[in-house]
Structure 1
Amino acid sequence: MYLLAVVGVLAVTVTSESVTSLRFPPGFQFGVATSAYQIEGGWNASDKGESIWDRMIHSRPESIYDRSNADVACDSYHLWEEDLRLVQDMGVDFYRFSISWPRLLPHGFSNKVSEDGRRYYSAIIDGLLERGISPMVTLYHWDLPQRLQELGGWTNPLIVDWFADYARVAFSLFADRVHTWITINEPGTICDVSYRGFLAPGVKDHEVGALLCTKHVLLAHATAYRVYQKEFKPKYHGEVSIANQESWFEPKTDMDLEITLLAREYLFGRYSHPIFSATGGWPPALQRYMADKSKREGFSRSRLPAFTQDEIRLVKGSFDYYGLNHYTSRVVRAAVPGEPLQYMMQGIEEVEAALETRPHWGAAAASWLKVNPQGLRRLLQLIKQQYGDVKILITENGYSDTGAQLQDRDRVQYYRDYLEQVLLAMNEDAVRVVGYTAWSLLDNFEWVAGYTSRFGLYAVDFSSPLRPRAARASARFYAGVARAGARSVAPAHNTTRAIQ
């Protein structure tokens, strides 16, 4: 059993050189992240509604590798004050957490707001501010109310309005104290992985369902963004964006450049180009490809649903910063006809590309996470090249292991190497990165991997009903980096404005 420990108590080996070499400029912000479903537990506490993950796991326990569930998880629904103490001890600037849609709106609709749900999230926000930490709130981190799923979920165009109503409730309750918002986390995962049956709701319809989901997620994000801009920004001056998961893709050979560009557009540009490009709409090359492919397949129209001109204008420019989740890299080549293409990055088979890794890249416990720090710098360069001098906030970056050791040297090395690449992108490539978020504060329920893959700076003993937390070496290392940066920032914490 782990002993309860906080950073600074655990004796770990972290050299001062490894920290001071990562000196970030004044104003750069450091944070840690979690998500509601992965840490809260309390799945049926008070009047909380059922989510798509509750339904899938309870009805199909075999869908989780270790047949575990998130009914209790880290029990952060009850231990949230302990978690805030850990965040405070790390000396970071902000804490990214998500609101559970069915905890705040038990029926999914805005006609009933849970008083206990409101009180819970309000207490977290107030607790952070009292500790000098800025709250960064994600509205949707994959836990859709089951009732809305039964009405079609993300394939129903009405979800655009349902999500905007939910966002308005959250803004009304918390925008006076929260100044950095993420509407939707990883739309590519929500659509491309979920609609291949791998994640909740477990629906298999990648031909049409995944692409309908893509359009509606983008419209929902943009509509919520416009709600904030019109009704809340004039008073509270906060910032809103979306968090896209993007891996670095590089061609295997010079002959694979074209397929690599198409693969990037399908998996990542589909969710970035409509928002961040100067023209808006789908990436042109992808739009042409999908129209031609759909015609060959016998469809009467493209499976990639068209945007109207009004929808293009709605989505284009719906951001205040570029939210980037990044973990890993891949090498791309053209697939051999008949080659099986099964990847964690589901959807790559749509463009007939195959993904590989370099032999020298490291590996994490999660099979999909291959370590290539230079890929993050190259991705940051590419974002600037494609979308201009946009402000970039790294909203997730982290490393998984089995959780067997508190002396997690591989995770420390991962953070050191990836943070170094962020600095190089800033100092040598003039990329405007304004903040970095470590995933994750705690070991948590890692979706279909259950508890077999651990990302936490703090270990959690899931065998104990008390769920004690223990600091890993990476917690001390990251705290040192954050504090080194904070010494050059005045004030160290900004709780009155969004990340600049």
Structure 2
Amino acid sequence: MSCRPSSQTKLPESEFVYKEFQNPDRDRAMTGTFQQGFAWGAATAAYQIEGAWDEDGKGASIWDTFSHHEGNIYGNHNGDIACDSYHKIYQDVELMKQLGLTHYRFSISWPRILPDGTSKTINQAGIDYYRELIDALLEANIKPMVTLYHWDLPQALQDIGGWENDMIVVYFNQYADVCFREFGDKVKLWITFNEPSEFIKEGYETGCLAPGLKHQGTSVYRVAHNVLLSHGTAWRTYDNKYRASQKGMVGICLVCNWAIPYSNSKEDVDATERFIMFMFGWFANPIFGSGDYPEAMKQQVMMKSREQGLTSSRLPDFNEEEKSLILGTMDFLGLNYYTTKRVRHLASPTYPASLDADQDLHCTYDDDWPTSGSTWLRPVPWGFRELLRWVKNKYNNPPIYITENGFSDPNLESEGYPNLDDICRSKYIRSHINELLKAYIMDDVDIRGYMTWSLTDNFEWCDGYSSKFGLYHVDFTDPSRPRTPKTSVKTYRQIVKDNGFL
């Protein structure tokens, strides 16, 4: 797919952003604006940008351990320095000011605050770093949105079982309590977890992400259970101890691809529903649905477990006390959307047990959909609106912040690098925010804000520095890690200035 410069940043009413999608009733761009006070931001994560992995008393995280093991990351890259944002607070805030942002979503590194993962030892240097960042943001009239867990578990806790150890609920609550106490006077938007379905599947079953375990068919459900209990416990700690004085909000960030059936057959339609429930409903249903796992998920895992000779499901049960703890623990939903898939029913083998095999389905893309620099990411803007409408109807229109939405640059090294004229990203941003606007104006979805992924190129997990999601290019070969704006900066800045499309 060719990506060429374009000076156009606005959307005439008659324009179709993608030649691949030109359904007049669905894809035509519209003009209009979001509500006053709409949150415009960019998102990052601590391990992906901070660096300073062993400075000022910080403890090791599972990502420090995982990335230091040869062969785990593309090119054996690691986040030891990353974007060096730990030492570049004011440079990064200046980038946000250039964009006109009102919000910045970042994560706190758990082991930077609590080196051994528990409240036994609090690292004051870590507290001071985040206070300085928050103060710099507020001085620039940018509100912080803080994620407590963006995948960098303290290695000390992994050494005693990590998320598979039920005591993790206690330790996460201690950590959340420290953060609420230390930063809650200035932070009013909190996210407990980022994309639990992803770090659980890839960290505990496929082994692609830290901690790199391959416990097929077992650990994923136990870990998810503890994550949900941790979320509920931390939310109630905030509600009981801090809400009255701090007047903030706490949510969770879930990722979901939209999905469409491969055919109109009942099997494919049911498989599509299962896909969404295993990816999104797994966490959404207990928190702001029925208070329990989705029925389709419970039935499917029970069926597979019995086929494997087990007398009970590999999916844990919630007792009534746990249901009461978790249900309703959401002031807002953080929603991450990147792409859409086609789904068809496909019976999986009985062995080995796995999260994927439990679903009995197969996912693919349409060959004529646009591509990106990541094999898993195809821009399908209309799927974004469909997902938002589905969430509204399924879960009683919860307040939604789009906490991630972004595009990876195609590999254009043969044409010269860096590719600063990232028209592909500009098209992605324009089309997806326009679909968000349609969901807000035409579908009455309760949209509160939009955070693009990401402010800068960064350490993109197992892809290392080979995937580029940033509005600003970072030269990782230069010790000073200079930031350079791409064309998409102009695109996003104009949308933020107009609060939509004029």
Give the TM-score normalised by the residue count of structure 1.
0.91
Residue matched to 1:157: 166
SS at match of 2:83: coil
Amino acid at match of 1:432: D
In the TM superposition, residue 487 of structure 1 has moved relative to its aligned partner by: 12
Q: Does the 8 Å contact 2:292/2:323 carry over to 1?
A: yes
Determine if the alignment matches structure 1 residue 275 to structure 2 residue 287. Answer: yes
For 1:301 and 1:150, locate their aligned partners in 2 and report how far apart those are by CA, in whole Å.
29
Residue matched to 1:450: 464
Figure out how many residues of one structure are paired with residues of the other and give that number: 473
Determine if the alignment matches structure 1 residue 100 to structure 2 residue 109. Answer: yes
Residue matched to 2:406: 398
SS at match of 2:33: coil
Determine if the alignment matches structure 1 residue 172 to structure 2 residue 184. Answer: no
Residue matched to 2:480: 466
Residue matched to 1:7: none
SS at match of 2:448: strand
Cα deviation digits, residues 17-46 of structure 1 (max 9, x gap)? 579946323222111011000000000011
In the TM superposition, residue 67 of structure 1 has moved relative to its aligned partner by: 1.4
**Bigger relative CO (Cα 8 Å, ≥ 6 apart):** 1
What aligned pairs does 1:5-404 form with structure 2 within 5 A after superposition?
13-17=7-11, 21=31, 23-58=33-68, 60-195=69-204, 196-255=206-265, 256-277=268-289, 279-335=290-346, 347-401=355-409, 402=411, 404=418
In the TM superposition, residue 16 of structure 1 has moved relative to its aligned partner by: 4.6
Amino acid at match of 1:57: S
Q: Closer, same or farther in 2 for the Cα pair 1:305/1:17, shift >3 Å?
A: closer
Cα deviation digits, residues 354-404 of structure 1 (max 9, x gap)? 001012211110111111001100000100111012111111000001473
Q: Does the 8 Å contact 2:44/2:106 carry over to 1?
A: yes
Q: Does the 8 Å contact 1:90/1:478 carry over to 2?
A: yes
Residue matched to 1:439: 453
Q: Does the 8 Å contact 1:460/1:467 carry over to 2?
A: yes
Q: Does the 8 Å contact 1:74/1:444 carry over to 2?
A: yes
For 1:339 and 1:287, locate their aligned partners in 2 and report how far apart those are by CA, in whole Å.
17
Q: Equivalent pairs: percent with the same residue?
A: 41
SS at match of 1:370: coil
Q: Closer, same or farther in 2 for the Cα pair 1:414/1:487, shift >3 Å?
A: closer
Q: Does the 8 Å contact 1:44/1:50 carry over to 2?
A: yes
In the TM superposition, residue 347 of structure 1 has moved relative to its aligned partner by: 3.3
Cα deviation digits, residues 183-212 of structure 1 (max 9, x gap)? 110000121111121100001113111110
For 2:481 and 2:30, locate their aligned partners in 1 and report how far apart those are by CA, in whole Å.
34
Q: Does the 8 Å contact 2:32/2:501 carry over to 1?
A: no
In the TM superposition, residue 78 of structure 1 has moved relative to its aligned partner by: 0.6
In the TM superposition, residue 117 of structure 1 has moved relative to its aligned partner by: 0.3
In the TM superposition, residue 434 of structure 1 has moved relative to its aligned partner by: 1.0
For 2:500 and 2:257, locate their aligned partners in 1 and report how far apart those are by CA, in whole Å.
29
Q: Does the 8 Å contact 2:308/2:351 carry over to 1?
A: no
In the TM superposition, residue 339 of structure 1 has moved relative to its aligned partner by: 12
Q: Does the 8 Å contact 1:14/1:476 carry over to 2?
A: no
For 1:318 and 1:424, locate their aligned partners in 2 and report how far apart those are by CA, in whole Å.
28
Amino acid at match of 1:13: S
In the TM superposition, residue 300 of structure 1 has moved relative to its aligned partner by: 2.6
SS at match of 1:113: coil
Q: Does the 8 Å contact 2:10/2:501 carry over to 1?
A: no
Q: Does the 8 Å contact 2:30/2:501 carry over to 1?
A: no
SS at match of 2:442: helix
For 2:274 and 2:6, locate their aligned partners in 1 and report how far apart those are by CA, in whole Å.
45
> What stretches of structure 1 of length at least 5 have no aligned partner?
1-10, 489-500
Q: Does the 8 Å contact 2:300/2:358 carry over to 1?
A: no
Cα deviation digits, residues 149-170 of structure 1 (max 9, x gap)? 0111111111011000000000
For 2:96 and 2:461, locate their aligned partners in 1 and report how far apart those are by CA, in whole Å.
23
For 1:470 and 1:186, locate their aligned partners in 2 and report how far apart those are by CA, in whole Å.
29
For 2:370 and 2:500, locate their aligned partners in 1 and report how far apart those are by CA, in whole Å.
31
For 1:286 and 1:136, locate their aligned partners in 2 and report how far apart those are by CA, in whole Å.
32
Q: Closer, same or farther in 2 for the Cα pair 1:340/1:12, shift >3 Å?
A: farther
RMSD: 2.1
Residue matched to 1:8: none
Amino acid at match of 1:252: Y
Q: Closer, same or farther in 2 for the Cα pair 1:223/1:168, shift >3 Å?
A: same
For 2:114 and 2:279, locate their aligned partners in 1 and report how far apart those are by CA, in whole Å.
31
Q: Does the 8 Å contact 1:64/1:449 carry over to 2?
A: yes
Residue matched to 1:497: none
Cα deviation digits, residues 254-305 of structure 1 (max 9, x gap)? 110011112221122111110111x211112211221222122112321001
Q: Does the 8 Å contact 1:160/1:217 carry over to 2?
A: yes
Q: Does the 8 Å contact 1:267/1:348 carry over to 2?
A: no
Amino acid at match of 1:298: G
SS at match of 1:436: strand
In the TM superposition, residue 14 of structure 1 has moved relative to its aligned partner by: 3.8
SS at match of 2:42: strand
For 2:363 and 2:300, locate their aligned partners in 1 and report how far apart those are by CA, in whole Å.
19
Amino acid at match of 1:391: P
For 1:152 and 1:422, locate their aligned partners in 2 and report how far apart those are by CA, in whole Å.
40
